[in-house]
Amino acid sequence: MPPKRQIPTVRLRRLAAELRRLRGASELTREDVTERTGINTVTLYRIETARVRPQRRTLLALLDLYEVHASHRDEVLALLQGAKEQGWLRPYHSELPEQYTAYISFESEAWEVRNYESLFIPGVLQTGDYARAVIKGTLPMATVEAVEQRVQARVERKAVLAKKEPLRVWAIMDEAALHRTVGGPKVMREQMEHLAQVTGEPHVTLQVIPFSAGAHAGMPGSFVLMGFADKEDPELVYLDSMAGDLFLEAEIDVRRYGVMFDNLRAQALSPDDTLRLITTLASEMR
């Protein structure tokens, strides 16, 4: 039986980063750590990249080797305990692609997301029928069960907008996403009406880049920037493409996509003009 898949969490990611930092401060290579502790080099790599959650005895061995003082040791052990918490992930999510379940986990813990989409309505703002049409169209070989699992996951993701401290969403779309009739006129009309409704929420900002803007920085593809309430948790970039999903953590990448998002925001219609456009298109579809 294959081992149970470890779903990344914000705390697991922070724990991995801290262990990398402690090893670096001790001026030890992974091979040095293996020699002194017996921890397999591959296992250490997986721990330091948040691919697995370390066992408590393994973590204690590392903290001993790095000569971590008592107060800081307690903080690191607390991260280990918190790393088990996986937000609102459901049991059936284990059937979803690994990177997508990782995205769901991070999104559930994020404080804000800045999302640019070139062809789709942003996932967290999609209706169930729109999501179903998108998934069927983009995954023509998927089984009915697989489609419904993804639809359910996408619909459940909207719960982050109804939390006591709701996720702050700033979404920008190319106008093309509004004109592509996904699922037929009725589905698109309901999707437009849903967008018009959610943009009235104080934690949701929606902008559209009009066709008249011409070429813009977002044309190469969609991306999501995630920010977390605790400043100890650095921002994260998520890319979804035909070549596969990818998370970027390097400061230079986060900064580059942040500048790109600001550029797109400047080229987009204002939130009020965006609402007027969406309302007009919804009316035309009636």
Task: Indicate the pairing of strand 223-227 with strand 112-117.
Answer: antiparallel
Identity of the highest mean pLDDT range in 105-119, 164-178, 242-256: 164-178
Is 88 exposed, middle or buried (CB count within 10 Å of its CB: 0-12, 13-18, 19+)?
A: middle
Note the pLDDT tens digit of each residue in 46-92. Answer: 898 877 888 899 999 999 999 998 888 888 888 787 666 554 444 44
pLDDT of residue 101: 77
Q: Show the tokens assigned to 284.
A: 């035309």
Domains along the chain with CATH numbers: 10-82 (1.10.260.40), 91-285 (3.30.870)
Strands (E), 87-243: 112-117, 168-174, 204-209, 223-227, 236-241
**Which whole number is the average pLDDT over 28-46?**
92
| Rounded-to-integer distance, Cα 86 and Cα 72, Å | 24
User: CA separation (Å) from 81 to 14, 58, 84, 171, 276?
Assistant: 12, 14, 6, 33, 48
| Rounded-to-integer distance, Cα 181 and Cα 264, Å | 24
| Rounded-to-integer distance, Cα 255 and Cα 32, Å | 34
Is residue 116's pLDDT more than 90?
A: yes
Between 252 and 249, the higher pLDDT residue: 252
| Rounded-to-integer distance, Cα 81 and Cα 99, Å | 23
| Rounded-to-integer distance, Cα 209 and Cα 62, Å | 50
Write the CB contacts of 202 (distance below 8 Å, at least 6 apart in sequence).
none
Between 273 and 9, the higher pLDDT residue: 273
| Rounded-to-integer distance, Cα 192 and Cα 282, Å | 6
pLDDT of residue 234: 80
Query: What rounded mean pLDDT belongs to the chain?
Result: 88
Q: Show the tokens assigned to 188.
A: 């698109």
pLDDT of residue 78: 81
CA 23 to chain centre: 28
Is residue 201's pLDDT more than 70?
A: yes
In this prediction, residue 2 has a pLDDT band, given cuts at 50, 70 and 90, of very low
